[in-house]
A and B are shown apart, each in its own frame.
Chain A
Amino acid sequence: MAAAALCWALRAARQVLPSPCPRQVRSYYVDWRMLRDVKRRKMAYEHADERLRINAIRKNSILPRELQEVADKEIAALPRDSCPVRIRNRCVLTSRPRGVKRRWRLSRIVFRHFADHGQMSGVQRAMW
């Protein structure tokens, strides 16, 4: 029991050292689609600069066409998940792909639930 307590203390200290006082931390994503979306976002962030520069070469009227064709091939060769178009703004809590308000990153159902319980700051039922 003492050893377990010590182990717990050390583990907690290791994890929790920069930020003491453990609170609830979400360690799983809601579903696999959300996980894939997260991966796509990370990849898009990594390749964002490259894509921007290659596109700058492509969308050009000054540089010769051959160069632009080569750039086309290069950008097509990049991994598919690195393009930002594939990112879907899912609901953060339920991973719902549709009906998501951008400002709160929540789906309409979750938003309504929290707003009715008074947990959305500054949100009120409309009445006029």
Chain B
Amino acid sequence: KDKSTASKDSTPEGASKRQQDGAETPKQQLLDIIGTMKVEVSYRKKLQQLKAREGKKQTLNKIEGSDSEGSVPQGATEDTQGSKPLNPELVKAASAVASSLPRNKKQTESELLAQLRRHEETTDKQKKGGAINIRNVISEMTVKRQTPAHKNAKLSGRISLQSDEDGQRIRPQRSSAQSIDSRRNLKVGKRLNIFTKASTEPEHALKTVSSPTIWDLEFAKEVAAVTAQPPRNGFEEMIQWTKEGILWEFPIDNEVGMEDDAEFHEHIFLEKHLEGFPKAGPIRHFMELVICGLSKNPYLSVKQKVEHIEWFQKYFEEKKELLQEI
């Protein structure tokens, strides 16, 4: 961290000096800086933006004492106090970003600050887990780029609104669920472990479904119904259809649903199932023909073939008296 801070201190100054040389060099340096920080290569840009936003927001909260929303600055100060070691790096990173971009610096700065503010609001909300502000929700909804943290915060916000309308009895459970949500979102948001997102979500889902309370089940169903937004494009529609089973999975697997673990010899050598039958006579002859036919049948599973033979066994046992008359 010290090394990164040191490099950060040097590079923004260097960026401002060398800006005349070429617009690409400070950008490259920026990318290098942020790449050396705890960032995974594939999501570099996303995280870059996130961190820039955080830094910008904290600078804004330091500079401007009061914001338009009342609940924000209290939480913001708490956040700034909490995450101080990040601040100077992010501030310098943000300034470097603004300086490196060819457009209006002040405009980009203000935009970044606004985004950071919104981000801080969401983190505050997640921490408190209860303060439902309609303005917050709407401001969240305007944010276009979503991290998983943003998504879950939105979800919890909408459901909390519904619970307010319906009645207060559902609220305490919702708030507990929300706090669980918020805790998980907070962890995901701060660590930026985007690769482990898939592992955290199914855990969460399992937790809600496996608990025996009916209310939890109903809540889970409601969540599913709310999150199930209509598909925005053809790809999402196809994904939905594949989940439902309407559309096959590509590349087409001819053996979907056919999980026959039996070896070929179990399909062909079926004589061992003929032990219940008499060893001579027309019945044996008949059954041998049946077995011959079954061994050539590729469409039935071994279970089905065995059932076939057993049915015949039952049938002939029932008719034993009749057969003995003959």
Which A positions have Cβ atoms within 8 angstroms of B? 2-3, 5-6, 9-10, 12-14, 16-21, 49, 53, 56-57, 60, 62-64, 66-67, 70
Chain B residue total in the interface (Cβ 8 A): 33
Bound-state CA distance A10–B223 (Å) is 10
Contact with A along B222-257 (1 / 0, CB 8 A): 101111111100000000100110000000000000
Residues of chain A contacted by B290 (CB below 8 angstroms): 56
Bound-state CA distance A57–B221 (Å) is 52
Contacting pair B282 A63 (CB below 8 A): yes
Contacting pair A10 B322 (CB below 8 A): no
Contact with A along B166-185 (1 / 0, CB 8 A): 11000000000000000000
Please give the distance in Å from A110's CB to the nearest CB on chain B. 22
| 4 nearest A-B pairs in the assembled complex, by CB-CB distance | A20-B228, A13-B221, A13-B225, A19-B244
A-B contact pairs, 24 of them (CB 8 A): A2-B167, A3-B166, A6-B162, A10-B221, A10-B222, A12-B225, A13-B224, A16-B225, A16-B228, A17-B225, A18-B244, A19-B243, A20-B228, A20-B240, A21-B229, A21-B231, A53-B308, A53-B315, A62-B282, A62-B285, A63-B283, A63-B286, A70-B319, A70-B322
Bound-state CA distance A8–B320 (Å) is 61
Contacting pair B286 A14 (CB below 8 A): no
A53-B308, A53-B311, A56-B290 known; A67 vs B322 contact (CB < 8 Å): yes
* A16, A17, A20 interface centre (most CB from chain B within 10 Å): A20
Give me 6 other A-B pairs in contact (C-beta within 8 A), A21-B231, A62-B285, A63-B282 excluded. A13-B222, A14-B221, A18-B244, A60-B286, A62-B289, A67-B319
Contact with A along B191-226 (1 / 0, CB 8 A): 000000000000000000000000000100110111
* A5, A9, A18 interface centre (most CB from chain B within 10 Å): A9
Residues of chain A contacted by B282 (CB below 8 angstroms): 62-64
Residues of chain B contacted by A18 (CB below 8 angstroms): 244
Contacting pair B230 A21 (CB below 8 A): yes
Bound-state CA distance A70–B243 (Å) is 49
Residues of chain A contacted by B289 (CB below 8 angstroms): 62
Measured CB to CB, the nearest residue on chain A to B221 is A13
B326 CB within 8 Å of chain A = yes
Please give the distance in Å from B317's CB to the nearest CB on chain A. 13
Pick from A21, A49, A60: contact of B240, CB below 8 A. Answer: A21
Bound-state CA distance A122–B315 (Å) is 51
Please give the distance in Å from B216's CB to the nearest CB on chain A. 13
Please give the distance in Å from A40's CB to the nearest CB on chain B. 23
Contacting pair B166 A2 (CB below 8 A): yes
Bound-state CA distance A21–B232 (Å) is 12
Residues of chain A contacted by B308 (CB below 8 angstroms): 49, 53
Which B positions have Cβ atoms within 8 angstroms of A? 162, 165-167, 218, 221-222, 224-231, 240, 243-244, 282-283, 285-286, 289-290, 308, 311-312, 315, 319, 322-323, 325-326
Residues of chain B contacted by A62 (CB below 8 angstroms): 282, 285-286, 289
Residues of chain B contacted by A3 (CB below 8 angstroms): 166
Pick from B224, B286, B323: contact of A20, CB below 8 A. Answer: B224
Residues of chain A contacted by B231 (CB below 8 angstroms): 21
Residues of chain A contacted by B226 (CB below 8 angstroms): 9
Bound-state CA distance A17–B322 (Å) is 55
Pick from A6, A21, A63: contact of B228, CB below 8 A. Answer: A21
Bound-state CA distance A74–B141 (Å) is 69
* A5, A56, A60 interface centre (most CB from chain B within 10 Å): A56
Please give the distance in Å from B219's CB to the nearest CB on chain A. 10
Pick from A17, A53, A70: contact of B312, CB below 8 A. Answer: A53
Bound-state CA distance A53–B286 (Å) is 12
Bound-state CA distance A69–B231 (Å) is 61
Bound-state CA distance A60–B66 (Å) is 95
Bound-state CA distance A49–B312 (Å) is 12
Please give the distance in Å from B163's CB to the nearest CB on chain A. 10
Please give the distance in Å from A34's CB to the nearest CB on chain B. 22
Contacting pair A66 B326 (CB below 8 A): yes
Bound-state CA distance A70–B319 (Å) is 9
Contacting pair B319 A17 (CB below 8 A): no
Residues of chain B contacted by A10 (CB below 8 angstroms): 218, 221-222
